[in-house]
Chains A and B, each alone.
Chain A
Amino acid sequence: MNEAQAIALATSGDHGAYAWLVGKYKHMVHTACYRILRHREEAEEATQDSFVKAYQNLGSYQGGSKFSTWLFSIAYRTAISQLRKRRDGISTIDELSTGQEPSEAASATVEINDRTVALNKALGRLPAEDAAIVSFFYLEEMSVEEIVTVTGLGASNVKVKLHRSRKRLLEILQDELKEEAWTLIAD
């Protein structure tokens, strides 16, 4: 089954086809919700809500943009609305910044984990919206135009947010990792 077939079948009410789409995009949607909400249970709830909303509105998906972009825009709005309800824009101590310390892993794994923890800490210090935007750009490899479609922000606003967030991320990573490469890039 390909994506277009799955969308067509799911639109006609085929739950199996929609399960295929959920399986394909659940981690992407969950990551986006988690970057915004920074709380596992809330991100899970937002992920579920996003997929239910997407299912109910499948008929309005015209295929003008990628399905992932359309789905991300629903997830982004759902998570932002949940965040606004919580009224906690930037949390200082949250799950993202704590991370999990490696115990007795090989040195390579420790290094990767250190970097992951450092990245999570850095993302935790950015405003929720900005953390989601940099994640869309660097992890999901979305273009600025796609981020504009997902977030509903203006292109110049997205570019400014990306520029500021990159600068901030590099500063934090430089402090956290104390690696020469990051120092050279961040300077």
Chain B
Amino acid sequence: MDAHRRLKEDEADKALRELFVAAGRVEAPSSIDVRILQRIALAPKPITPEPELLPKWVWIAAAIAFCGLAAFLFATSPAATGPSYTDKLLQSVPEFSLERVFTSPWLMMTVLTIGVLMALDVFLARGRARFSLL
């Protein structure tokens, strides 16, 4: 029964394929090439996506590892009464005054340099986009 059905399906497929091939494709108008190319001429050049710096799975693995480490540090403590790893970690960070940080000329220079570099990057990116359109 199944073999008979399969045979019928194969026959049907063959007959339909022959019919489709005999009927052929619906021809596009001959002028369509010109119209497509006219539109292409106005369109920007194809954009090639930049290759990824790191594969996605590396980012995911790094995020999981980081979260795991953070969870471990926050959750565990060497002894029930003793300070946790987090406390120890914070204790090892030297104390500093926020006022001294914000009035530091080094910080000002750093912020200023970042600003200048970012402005330069935006300017160069715009120039490159304009050049690629030509």
Q: For the complex, is B94 an interface residue (Cβ under 8 Å from A)?
A: no
> Which applies to chain A's interface (DSSP): helix, strand, loop or mixed?
helix
Give Cα A14–Cα B41 distance, bound, in whole angstroms.
10
Contact B33 A56 (CB under 8 A): no
Contact B22 A116 (CB under 8 A): yes
Q: Which residues of chain A from 147 to 187 have a CB within 8 Å of any chain B CB?
A: 166, 169-170, 173, 181-182, 185-186
Give Cα A35–Cα B20 distance, bound, in whole angstroms.
12
> Which applies to chain B's interface (DSSP): helix, strand, loop or mixed?
helix
* Known contacts A13-B45, A18-B40, A185-B8: A44-B29 contact under CB 8 Å: yes
Q: For residue B17, give the distance in angstroms from its CB to the closest CB of chain A.
A: 5
Contact B33 A23 (CB under 8 A): yes
For B13, list chain A residues within 8 Å (CB). Answer: 138, 166
Among the stretches B46-54, B60-68, B112-120, the one at the interface with A is B46-54
Give Cα A134–Cα B17 distance, bound, in whole angstroms.
10
Q: For the complex, is A48 an interface residue (Cβ under 8 Å from B)?
A: yes
Q: For residue A11, give the distance in angstroms from its CB to the closest CB of chain B.
A: 5
For B15, list chain A residues within 8 Å (CB). Answer: 181-182, 185
* Known contacts A22-B36, A30-B28: A59-B23 contact under CB 8 Å: no
Q: For residue A81, give the distance in angstroms from its CB to the closest CB of chain B.
A: 18
For B32, list chain A residues within 8 Å (CB). Answer: 22, 26, 30, 44, 47-48
Q: Which residues of chain B from 75 to 120 have a CB within 8 Å of any chain A CB?
A: none
* Known contacts A22-B36, A44-B28, A47-B28: A135-B46 contact under CB 8 Å: no
Q: For the complex, is A80 an interface residue (Cβ under 8 Å from B)?
A: no
Number of B residues near A (Cβ < 8 Å) is 34
For A110, list chain B residues within 8 Å (CB). Answer: none
Number of A residues near B (Cβ < 8 Å) is 47
A182's nearest neighbour on chain B, judged by CB, is B15
Q: For residue A149, give the distance in angstroms from its CB to the closest CB of chain B.
A: 20
* Residue from B33, B41, B45, B46 whose CB has the most chain A CB atoms within 10 Å: B46
For A116, list chain B residues within 8 Å (CB). Answer: 22-24
Q: Which of B33, B47, B49 contacts A26 (CB 8 A)?
A: B33
For A51, list chain B residues within 8 Å (CB). Answer: 36, 40
Q: For the complex, is B71 an interface residue (Cβ under 8 Å from A)?
A: no
* Known contacts A19-B37, A23-B33, A26-B33: A138-B16 contact under CB 8 Å: yes
B41's nearest neighbour on chain A, judged by CB, is A15
Q: Contact residues of B with A, CB < 8 Å?
A: 8-9, 11-13, 15-17, 19-29, 32-33, 35-37, 39-41, 43-49
24 contacts between A and B (CB under 8 A): A10-B46, A11-B46, A12-B45, A18-B37, A30-B28, A31-B26, A35-B26, A43-B26, A44-B28, A44-B29, A48-B39, A55-B40, A55-B46, A56-B47, A57-B46, A57-B47, A59-B47, A59-B48, A59-B49, A116-B23, A138-B16, A139-B21, A166-B9, A186-B12
Question: Lowest 6 A-B CB distances belong to which pairs?
Answer: A59-B48, A30-B28, A58-B46, A138-B20, A31-B25, A139-B20
